[in-house]
Amino acid sequence: MEQSFLAWLRGRQRDLPQVAVGIGDDAAILDWPSSRQLVTSVDTIVDGVDFLLDKHSLASIGHKALAVNLSDMAAMAADPVAVLVAISLPNQQATQVAAGIYEGILATAAEFGVAISGGDITVYDGPLAISITIIGQAAPQKAWLRSGAEPDDAVLVSGSLGGSILQKHLAFTPRVRLAQQLRDSFTIHAAIDISDGLLLDLDRLCAASGCGIELQLDQIPISDDAKTLSLQDGGDPLEHALGDGEDYELILTCPAEQAADILAADLGTPLTQIGVLTSRTGLWSKLPNKLIRLSPRGFVHGG
């Protein structure tokens, strides 16, 4: 299966200038400018945890496998270059499943100019699992970190939040282009993508930066899916927006004096200011006459 599938994949892969030697050798060779830093990340998604093979389309699963990695590049303001794709396939219909997964990966890679430079395929008696290592680049000392936020920074979030289980967790757009626009035109102090929930990922950013946040809960952008899900489960749309996870939007902090200019810019993706960072650590809901401490909540991965 492997040799015939690799031949098919080579025929589908576009030649991109950043890959000197790609699929077909023992390792890939990438051309790398000396003026750029290497940025890498890896994510694995597994049937029954991150998607349902018997319910979701193969192409959408492939898209998600790559898009979660692209979201990490966006959170670092890095330019994605190439990926290595490792797929562990269940025994049943392995070739058809691999081809369907790659249809989603190839389409997303083409959209973002990313080369598939290599990987691995295994067939075994177990669930479908896809592990992608992404390789990106950034100008020296210009990548965004979680640890760069400062007290009095404005806190912005892209898009809308909550209810991702209905469709977004498989169909989101990683905010690579938004990050590139912001990086090139404004000052961003810190960033993180929302993979596990707004409050949980906000808490991680604040902890890394030694800050806290005063949140304006009435400014949280709640998605239509969060409202639909609340009608189905009797929950609160705001609670879904605060803790559902898998939104893959960006949390950004910037100097307060730049916030209005960023919000007014035509970036193709809506941004909302949801709060202000403070020297008081923790997550706080800002009310007219008091602050109420919030508990970070969201999806916590098992150890």
Confirm whether residue 102 is marked as ligand binding: yes
User: What six digits make up the tokens of 119?
Assistant: 């990987």
Q: Say whether 54 sits in a helix, a strand or coil.
A: coil
Confirm whether residue 214 is marked as ligand binding: no
Confirm whether residue 50 is marked as ligand binding: yes
Confirm whether residue 79 is marked as ligand binding: no
User: What six digits make up the tokens of 1?
Assistant: 């299966």
Confirm whether residue 195 is marked as ligand binding: yes
Confirm whether residue 147 is marked as ligand binding: no
DSSP for 139-177 reads -TT-S--GGG--TT-EEEEES-BS-GGGTHHHH----HH
Q: Say whether 63 sits in a helix, a strand or coil.
A: helix
Confirm whether residue 72 is marked as ligand binding: yes
Confirm whether residue 196 is marked as ligand binding: yes
Confirm whether residue 246 is marked as ligand binding: yes
Confirm whether residue 261 is marked as ligand binding: no
> Cβ distance 217 to 285 under 8 Å?
yes
Residues paired with 107 in a beta bridge:
none
Q: E-assigned strands of the chain? A: 19-21, 29-30, 37-46, 79-90, 115-124, 129-138, 154-158, 190-193, 212-215, 250-254, 271-278, 282-286, 291-294
Confirm whether residue 51 is marked as ligand binding: no
- The binding site for substrate comprises 50, 246, 299
- The binding site comprises 26, 41, 43, 50, 72, 102, 119-120, 146, 193, 195-196, 246, 299
- The binding site for Mg(2+) comprises 26, 41, 43, 72, 120, 193, 196
- The binding site for ATP comprises 102, 119-120, 146, 195
